[in-house]
Amino acid sequence: MFRLHSNRRPHRVRLLPRTRAVSLLVLALLVLAGLGAYSVAQPANCATLVDDTAFDSGSGWQSVTSGSYVVASDFLTYRGAGAAHLAGVDNATDQLFTTLTLPVDKPEVTLTFWWQIHSEEESGEFDSLTVLVTDLAGNALRSLLTLGSDSASQQWQQSVLDLSEFAGQSVQLKFLAQTDSSLVTDFFVDDVTVTACGGAAEHRVFLPVTQR
C-alpha cells in the first residue's frame, strides 16, 4: 500500500493593508487621468424663475380683468390653495402676467403649467386662452399656445413649452383669456413653473499622491 506525500501547502491569499490598498487606488486614478487630474460631469444647473407657482399668495403676478372679479381663486385648484380663474363671463378680456429675467448662462428654458377649461360652447374656438411672451411694455413677441373652448375637459392637463429663444432677456409671460357675447367659458390655470437650466459643468479634481 502506497501513501502519497506532498510538500505543497495550501495557497494563502495575502491581503493588502487597507492604507496601502487606498494608496494604490489613488495612484491608479492619477495614472489614468493624466497629469494628476480627471474630469467629472456634474448635473445641469437649474433655477426656478416663478415665485408663486401655485397662486397661493399672488406674489409676482399682475392681472387685468374686464369685470370686478379677482383672478386668484380657490374655486378649482390643481395644487395648493389657489389657482388662476380667467373669464367665466361674457365679453371678457382677462390678462394674467409676470415678469421674468431669463439668465444668459442657463439657455434651456422651459414653461410648464396645468390647465382646465369648462365651457357652455358646444363646438369651435369661440372663446380662447392664449399663452404669450411679450416685452416689458406688453407688446407680443411670440404666441406660444392657444387653447379654445373646444378643449373643454373635466380633467387637469399639462402643457410644456420651450422659452429658450428668450434666454438672456427680460420678458413678460402672459395668459390672455377672451370670450364672446354668449355661452360662458371658464379657464383655470395652476402650477406655473419656468425652469432655466445650463449645460453640464465639467470640474477638474486633483488627487494627492500618498507616499509611504
C-alpha neighbours within 13 Å on the C-beta side of residue 153? 10
pTM over 0.85: no
How far, in Å, CA of 28 to CA of 22, rounded? 10
Q: Which helix (H) or strand (E) holds 8?
A: none
Backbone angles phi, psi at 196, to 5 degrees: -110, 130
Whether 145 contacts 130, CB under 8 Å: yes
**Is beta strand 72-73 parallel, antiparallel or unpaired with respect to 108-119?**
unpaired
Q: Shortest CA distance to 203 belongs to which of 12, 21, 37? A: 37
Whether 208 contacts 104, CB under 8 Å: no
Backbone angles phi, psi at 19, to 5 degrees: -65, -40
Whether 102 contacts 171, CB under 8 Å: yes
User: Per-residue confidence of the chain (212 residues) as pLDDT tens digits?
Assistant: 323 333 333 333 343 455 555 455 545 554 444 434 444 444 569 999 998 999 998 889 999 998 889 899 999 999 989 999 999 999 999 999 999 999 999 999 999 999 999 999 987 778 999 999 999 999 999 999 999 999 999 899 999 999 999 999 999 999 999 999 999 999 999 999 999 999 655 444 444 444 54
Residue 123: its pLDDT value, please? Answer: 77
Ordered structural domains, the chain, with CATH: 46-197 (2.60.120.260)
Q: How many CB atoms lie within 10 A of CB 5?
A: 6
Beta bridge partners of 27: none
The burial class, CB within 10 Å (0-12 / 13-18 / 19+), for 71 is buried
Q: Which helix (H) or strand (E) holds 18?
A: helix 18-33
Beta bridge partners of 116: 188
